[in-house]
Structure 1
Amino acid sequence: MRLLGLRHGLAAGYSPLSLRQNNRRCFSSSQVHRELTPFTRRLFKLPSAPAPPSQHHHDLTTFLSYAGHISLPVTSTVHVGTHYEYTVLQTLRRYALSLDRIGGRDDAGIDLVGTWHLPERERERALRVLVQCKSLKTKLGPNVVRELEGTFRQAPVGWRTGETVGVLVSPREATKGVRDTLARSAYPLFWMMIERDGTLKQALWNARAEELGVGLLGVETRYGTTEGAESGSVTKEMVLTWDGCDIPHMDEVEKQLIEFAEQWVASWDINLSETQKGELLDVAERVLPHDVSAQLLDRTISDADRKKVIQALQERIEQQPVSE
């Protein structure tokens, strides 16, 4: 059983200048967070996020504000754990992971859930992701891998699929026991070392994960320079890549999903309300043969099938009672 992802892309010994010259950045990285509409989620068959565990915060900024408001000690386990979970969530958006925090009493050991929108996988549905964050100072043993395996059986509705991966995240490097257990696991698993400031330092995954189509995923070493008091010192981090290129930021992915959904609706050449967009999907999946309805995102439906869908949709709308 192989443990993949140990390659770090660029070899040590290169100067920071030559490393920057060898980086291939093939994707846009504009960062404007956009909420996906229920229709867009349905079109791409993305699960709805479970209810958040807190009404007081939803990201790192709002959590820090709330923690300050209630004078939550920064050394408390609640502050340290929640801060780390939001840091991981924020860091992984850089690599096209859309995650929501669900930690709480009934989280079944899961801290974050979401979807991973790796390039070239979108039409085959984004990977489902279960994340456990282990913000501990002590070394982690193989038991944490077995604990992560258990979350697959207790995953929320929408994450109980054959396209789900588990991710263990810790500010500590994976021990030999952890690496060996990952390699032997029958589940698709990842290990990521993310420091408390959000810097990615290590990424590993097993052969079972590679079977889900992540063969083009890679890891590279990137160097840079610091700013401020220690300006000029060299920094080092790992970055995930896809076929040698930067993975698009989740903000860019969301923008593309929204634009595609708008174009998909426009391709039917009919004016629809937000509710009727969902009804269009219902009708298309009911009227079209299964092998055709499964290819709705490809927009290669014949004119005859298109007319059938539009006619059925119009009949459905006409049968609805008129609200007063």
Structure 2
Amino acid sequence: MRLLRLRHGLAAGYSALRLRQDNCRCFSSSRVHHELTPFTRRLFKIPSAPSPPAQHHNDLTTFLSYAEHISLPVTSTVHVGTHYEYTVLQTLRRYALSLSRIGGRDDAGIDLVGTWHLPERERERALPVLVQCKSLKTKLGPNVVRELEGTFRQAPVGWRTRETVGILVSPREATKGVRDTLARSTYPLFWMTIERDGTLKQALWNARAEVLGVGPLGVEMRYGTTEDAESGSVTKEMILTWDGCDIPHMDQVEQNLTEFAEQWAASWGMDLSKIQKGELLDVAEMVLPRDVSAQLLDRTISDADRKKVIQALQERLQQQPASE
């Protein structure tokens, strides 16, 4: 197995890659944001990100408004770094990454945390992700890879798993030293070159990441024309693909998860409140066998086990005060 799997949007001969458009999954281009409820997060075992260092902003739009309000110089380190972090967050949502910014003085070197909902993992636990953004103008050396490796030991609760992925993001392409260090790492690591305007230019990952089942992940160069038809200029864009097809946008993933969670709750034949849905999960975890998550999501629970869960939930609800 190759130590490093490289996908570079500017590589010569890139057009030789096979483009499999037939029989591709059809994903909606919906851009409706669905905030996941605590119940949905529990059902799919999606951890909640730690509280951000500041409540003044939570995306690029609110940050720019806040920066203007406090007259933060656009050339300042804080403005440049924060702007880039939110740009990366926004860009990676296109590829089913749900990220939250936690950067601050006590961030342990982690700028963004979240989960990666790759197509074949939509009904499994999503990959936990740690992201470091390096918006420096200078070339980055192998030390940035070792720094990222160190964040695994200081990751927030919920991200200390064997499947956690580390992603280094920079406007600059990876040097040979970085690529070699990435290849030798025993951690599942990615490098992505994302320009300050959010354009993805390079994506590469090591063999350890392949072990987590990202084999179908690839890249594709797409060409288009600018809005100014008279100029005749052609735009180039590199995108991540899954098995040769588009990866669904995180907005669509959130909609799918929300709809599935509601359907799953309704499948028990009980009209449950938000609190009672959480209690349903509590009861299921106590009554059902150990590998409860797979059974719950696949809906392969036997009728006998289903009756046990419903009975246990009804008994719990009967014992609660009427006000609840």
Structure 1 length-normalised TM: 0.94
Shift of 1:53: 1.6
Using a 3 Å threshold, how does the CA distance of structure 1 residues 259 and 210 change in structure 2: closer, same or farther?
same
- Long gaps (5+) in structure 2: none
How many residues are aligned here?
A: 321
Indicate if the aligned counterparts of 1:9 and 1:219 stay in contact, CA closer than 8 A: no
**Letter of the aligned partner of 2:236 in structure 1?**
K
Please list the CA deviations of residues 155-205 of structure 1 after superposition, one character each: whole Å capped at 9, or x if unmatched: 000000011000000000000000000000000000000000000000000
Name the structure 2 match of 1:60: 60
**Letter of the aligned partner of 1:115 in structure 2?**
T
User: What SS does the corresponding residue of 2:218 show, helix, strand or coil?
Assistant: strand
Indicate if the aligned counterparts of 2:132 and 2:168 stay in contact, CA closer than 8 A: yes
Superposition pairs for residues 59-78 of structure 1, below 5 Å?
59-78=59-78
Name the structure 2 match of 1:80: 80
Superposition pairs for residues 172-321 of structure 1, below 5 Å?
172-228=172-228, 231-292=231-292, 294-321=294-321
Superposition pairs for residues 22-101 of structure 1, below 5 Å?
26-101=26-101
Distance 1:110 1:101 in 2: 9
Matched, 1:145 2:131: no
Using a 3 Å threshold, how does the CA distance of structure 1 residues 132 and 229 change in structure 2: closer, same or farther?
farther
Aligned residues: CA RMSD: 2.3
Name the structure 1 match of 2:104: 104
User: What SS does the corresponding residue of 2:7 show, helix, strand or coil?
Assistant: coil
**Letter of the aligned partner of 2:3 in structure 1?**
R
Indicate if the aligned counterparts of 2:284 and 2:292 stay in contact, CA closer than 8 A: no
Distance 2:119 2:179 in 1: 27
Distance 1:9 1:173 in 2: 11
**Letter of the aligned partner of 2:121 in structure 1?**
R
Identical-pair percentage: 85
Shift of 1:51: 0.4
Name the structure 2 match of 1:4: 5
**Letter of the aligned partner of 1:286 in structure 2?**
M
Distance 1:124 1:39 in 2: 16
Structure 2 length-normalised TM: 0.94
Shift of 1:206: 0.1
Distance 1:276 1:294 in 2: 21
**Letter of the aligned partner of 2:81 in structure 1?**
G
Shift of 1:236: 1.5
Distance 1:230 1:172 in 2: 32
- Long gaps (5+) in structure 1: none
Indicate if the aligned counterparts of 2:140 and 2:175 stay in contact, CA closer than 8 A: yes
Shift of 1:295: 1.6
Superposition pairs for residues 13-24 of structure 1, below 5 Å?
none
Runs of 4+ in 1 over 4 A off after TM superposition: 7-14, 19-25, 228-231
